[in-house]
Structure 1
Amino acid sequence: MGSSKGNDTCHECGSDLLLYKCKYCGMVFCDRHRRPQDHKCPGLSSYKQQVEAGTVEKPGIAAAGQPAEAQAPEKPLGSSVMHWSLLAVKLISIAVIVMALLVALIMLIGYIDARTTVTYVTLPVQNTTGVQVTLANNRSAADPTYDELVRFLKADDTSSLKYVSPGWTCADFAKRLHDNAEARGIKAGFVGIEFYDGSIDYSIYDDGSDTFAPPAGAPDMGHGLNLFNTVDKGPVYVDASSIYEGSTGDRIAYVVEGREFNEIDLDYATSTDYSFYSGYRQKYLDYIHELKEYNRLAKNYNQGIAEPGMELNQMALLLNSRNEALNAKKAEIGPFYYPSGTVKKINVYW
């Protein structure tokens, strides 16, 4: 046994670091001398018996006044730094994996989106039954030439459908023509026209036949049709609805804000410029003027009243001649529809 020391130093070497009290002799020792065989403990034989029996306990407990952590030496500083470094590496690896998955997901969405040829657009427009209008757009659709547009319109059957209010009206016709055009690779727009109320004087179309019935006026809810940007003739408005009596196909519409809105059958619309419609309208007004005079003469003839300086048989010949001329002029002009109203606003959706 070494020289006698105090209870705050190793009884063997005098060290005051990491002190333990031996359970077999009750003395205090440092970590190097804590085991009974390291300090020539009087209870060494008892310790050995316990070792052989497998019931040995720790040879010492922390001495009074020593921190509990003294029973096990602290981990080196380098070990703690390495622990945090490994944790940082793991976190960075997880972040890289998450970013890679996110990029892959974005690329997958882009790939799927690029291969999706049809997209749907819901418009701020309702048909007469209150259903929102949704267009089916073709990503690969392109602007046509005017001839390509005409060929498509003549092959399409939208205008052959019956106009039924409120079940199937102009918005439904316009949506169907749009979707059919896009499906065939022709880019199409949906157009909503708003009108000024009571803006058309229909009395100028009175032909004097006593059967003239002017239309009620512009539709309260406006009108729906289509727009095509042709590469050679520019914007072309098309109406496929069968809203007009006598209409048997698609019509070219003439749409300018502040001007009266009207349409001409496709086979008679040799130009899409508004000036063409103005000339066409004047031709019809000239025809109405001649028809009105013809109807006046016919009424007099039917009542046996001859024109001054003419016999009734001469009037009959005159009426026959004028009737033939009027029929020829009407055939040249084609169907004429009364204008719907003066355009207040044009809303175009693609």
Structure 2
Amino acid sequence: MATSLKIRIIAFITACILIFGIGVGYAFLHSDGTSKSLPILNMAGQEITISEYRDAADPDFNTLIMFLSEDATEDKDYVYPVYTCGDFASRLHDSAEKRGIRCGIVGVKFKTAYEENRSEILNNGSHYLPAYSSYDACRGHAFNAFNTTDRGIVYVDSTGITVEEKEMGNKPYDMIVYAREGEELGEIRVDQVESLDYSYYKLKEGQYLRYRSTVEKYNYAAEILNREIRENNISASTAINKKRELEAMRLNLEQREEYKWIIVGQLGVIDHLQVFW
């Protein structure tokens, strides 16, 4: 009887240890995230901090796109210098890893036109400074990287826009980033991307720039016509004919596929790119 009771007690203790061990192991794997600082500075001059989740794994491309469609990082307001690209990258990283999707942060240094800006970058060592508004002063950028199981590395930029831009009717979007050292950094809206190859971006950029050139010609012609009408330097019949021509041109521009494109280009030529996993 005593032996039987002893065996039962040992079995109970063993079961408790196993249950406790499994619980601790699960909590360890599914922890709230381990905090980690990266050598990427935000506009406040502070290193970006992220939370890493041990069970995060590389997604396939469709899983990544689905996650981006559900995530709302890009909806947050861009507030210079309080909340900028590095902060958005950190937010998207933590959101992805919390969902079990492994994510990295990319630090980019741009080549700059002014020697004093370049020397400031070089003197900063390993830190990646965030972007400024003008190209000549633009020193760096931060965005995210995902190592998809079927399409390889995919760069994503979920940096939002300012309140003023939203009031003008603009909307923030997740962007696929095309980046490689020695080349211009470019971005295309996620739902408008057909290829991840850099050559695809350059092809689309060229097509879009030609479209923009046509738009500028239309705007210039409309401005000239309006000025001639205000100054009475054009006959009524000629003005009517020109208005018809411009209206046809406008309709044609709005019907072209480029009208709905969102492409960001000429942010800078990449001097150095590094991914922090």
TM-score of the two chains, using structure 2 as the length reference: 0.71
Asked if the contact 1:247–1:265 (Cα under 8 Å) also holds between the matched residues in 2, the reply is no
CA shift in 2, pair 1:346/1:325, >3 Å: same
Pick the aligned partner of 1:340 from 254, 267, 270: 267
CA shift in 2, pair 1:113/1:195, >3 Å: farther
Pick the aligned partner of 2:49 from 126, 130, 134: 134
| Counterpart residue type for residue 257 of structure 1 | E
Asked if the contact 1:219–1:340 (Cα under 8 Å) also holds between the matched residues in 2, the reply is no
Matched, 1:280 2:204: yes
Which secondary structure does the structure 2 equivalent of 1:258 belong to? coil
Pick the aligned partner of 2:248 from 313, 321, 325: 321
User: Deviations along 1:47-87, whole A, 9 cap, x unmatched?
Assistant: xxxxxxxxxxxxxxxxxxxxxxxxxxxxxxxxxxxxxxxxx
d(CA) in 2 for partners of 1:170, 1:143 = 23
Q: Match of 1:115?
A: 28
d(CA) in 2 for partners of 1:192, 1:218 = 18
| Counterpart residue type for residue 111 of structure 2 | Y
Pick the aligned partner of 1:195 from 99, 103, 110: 110
Larger Rg: 1
Which secondary structure does the structure 2 equivalent of 1:282 belong to? helix
d(CA) in 2 for partners of 1:164, 1:263 = 21
| Counterpart residue type for residue 126 of structure 1 | L
Matched, 1:267 2:191: yes
Asked if the contact 2:145–2:154 (Cα under 8 Å) also holds between the matched residues in 1, the reply is yes
Query: 1:312 Cα deviation (Å)?
Result: 4.0
TM-score of the two chains, using structure 1 as the length reference: 0.58
Pick the aligned partner of 2:143 from 207, 225, 239: 225
CA shift in 2, pair 1:294/1:220, >3 Å: closer
Alignment of 1:97-176 (within 5 A): 115-117=28-30, 118-176=33-91
Segment drifting more, 283-292 vs 217-226? 217-226
Query: 1:225 Cα deviation (Å)?
Result: 0.5
Query: 1:271 Cα deviation (Å)?
Result: 2.2
Q: Match of 1:183?
A: 98
How many aligned positions are there?
Answer: 223
Q: Tell me, which stretches of 5 or more residues in structure 2 are unaligned?
A: 1-20, 115-132
d(CA) in 2 for partners of 1:298, 1:342 = 35
Query: 1:333 Cα deviation (Å)?
Result: 4.3
CA shift in 2, pair 1:224/1:247, >3 Å: farther
CA shift in 2, pair 1:225/1:189, >3 Å: same
Asked if the contact 2:184–2:265 (Cα under 8 Å) also holds between the matched residues in 1, the reply is no
Superposed CA RMSD in Å reads 2.7
User: Deviations along 1:311-333, whole A, 9 cap, x unmatched?
Assistant: 44332222111110111226544
Matched, 1:250 2:174: yes
d(CA) in 1 for partners of 2:65, 2:134 = 31
d(CA) in 1 for partners of 2:220, 2:78 = 36
CA shift in 2, pair 1:330/1:198, >3 Å: farther
User: Deviations along 1:137-195, whole A, 9 cap, x unmatched?
Assistant: 22221111111111101111111101112211111110110011011111100111110
Q: Tell me, which stretches of 5 or more residues in structure 1 are unaligned?
A: 1-107, 200-214
Asked if the contact 1:128–1:167 (Cα under 8 Å) also holds between the matched residues in 2, the reply is yes
Matched, 1:295 2:219: yes
Segment drifting more, 296-305 vs 160-169? 296-305
CA shift in 2, pair 1:166/1:301, >3 Å: closer
d(CA) in 1 for partners of 2:68, 2:145 = 12
d(CA) in 2 for partners of 1:328, 1:317 = 17
